[in-house]
Amino acid sequence: MNYITDFINSLALIRVTDIIDIAIIAFAVYKLFSLLRNTRAEQVLYGLIIVLLFASLADILNLNTVSWVMNQFLTVALVFIIVVFQPELRSALERIGRGRSIFTGERAVKSEKTIDELVRAMTSLSRQKIGALVVLEREVGLNDIVESGTTLGADVSSELLINIFIPNTPLHDGAVIISSDKIRAAACYLPLSNSNTISKELGTRHRAAVGISERSDCLVVVVSEETGNISVIESGRIDRYLDEDSFKQRLYNELVVKEVMKEEKEVSDEQ
């Protein structure tokens, strides 16, 4: 009975500011897990939570030596995480700081035209078994990737995309970055993924596509030079063996339908 009374008395001491304080911390932890989900840092975060629980238990049981070792380990681990997981941390901060995306009806029409041109180019390259790598920027900026290549700023056209990837031309080696219905740059260098889940039969082009998709919310299109197969990569996941119709539908769903739904939700929230 005393426990219940003490609990009720403790509740009476809770202030509104305490509730706000707890809500902010809970939201921050939730966003942290959301941003690190399906990344290399996720498992490390779980490991650190276990270490923190073990360190707290050592303090409660007055295990001074174990507690000291745990505290030293956590100090070193903080520096280790910053160095090793710098790309994931930067991506997470970019997602926190990115602004709201305004996707108007006019923009949607332009994107449909971009999709048509991209599908026409990739299917042509697929038939010829010419390798291609195209990154479609969304909310997370890719300026550092753009700077690694040759700036173009051209309208998206199937003819231009095909010419870029023709072997032995100056811009064929590397990735094309498309943003706001413009070809921003070509011959860009992408970070390679360290994932062990990528099939051994896939080469550097696919590994680079997975690498950039792990670090941003972009959509990546790959045409295999060996087989001519078209793949779409998002958040580290590879969707292979797409024919022309399924490829076009996938792009339309990702670049038009989802964005229109997002805009409608934002308008509804404002009302």
Q: What is the per-residue pLDDT across 57-114, written as a single tens digit (0 to 9) for each?
A: 878 888 788 778 877 777 777 676 666 666 656 655 655 554 443 334 444 445 788 9
Q: Are residues 14 and 126 in the same domain?
A: no
Q: Are residues 259 and 134 in the same domain?
A: yes
Q: Are residues 146 and 221 in the same domain?
A: yes
pLDDT in tens, the chain (271 residues): 566 676 666 666 777 787 888 888 888 777 766 666 655 566 666 777 787 787 788 788 887 887 788 777 777 776 766 666 666 566 556 555 544 433 344 444 457 889 999 999 999 999 999 999 999 998 888 888 898 999 999 999 999 999 999 998 889 889 999 988 899 999 999 999 888 888 888 889 999 999 999 888 899 999 999 999 999 999 889 999 999 999 999 999 888 876 666 666 655 655 5
pTM, two decimals, is 0.62
Q: Which domain holds residue 178?
A: 112-267
User: Which of 271, 268, 262 shows the shortest CA–CA distance to 100?
Assistant: 262
Can you tell me the distance from the alpha carbon of 115 to that of 173, in angstroms, rounded to the nearest whole number? 22
Domain for residue 106, yes or no? no
User: How long is the chain?
Assistant: 271
Q: Are residues 141 and 214 in the same domain?
A: yes
Can you tell me the distance from the alpha carbon of 24 to that of 32, in angstroms, rounded to the nearest whole number? 12
Sign of CA dihedral 179, 185, 191, 193: positive
Residue 254: per-residue pLDDT: 86
Residue 7: per-residue pLDDT: 63
Can you tell me the distance from the alpha carbon of 251 to that of 246, in angstroms, rounded to the nearest whole number? 9
Strands 175-179 and 132-136: parallel
Domain boundary among 98, 130, 160: 98
Residue 68: per-residue pLDDT: 81
What would the two tokens of residue 205 be?
């082009």
Sheet holding 150-155, edge to edge: 150-155, 182-188, 175-179, 132-136, 219-223, 230-234, 237-242
- Count of structural domains within the chain: 2
Q: Are residues 123 and 22 in the same domain?
A: no
Domain boundary among 67, 98, 129: 98
Residue 245: per-residue pLDDT: 92
Q: Are residues 51 and 159 in the same domain?
A: no
Q: Are residues 210 and 157 in the same domain?
A: yes
Residue 266: per-residue pLDDT: 57
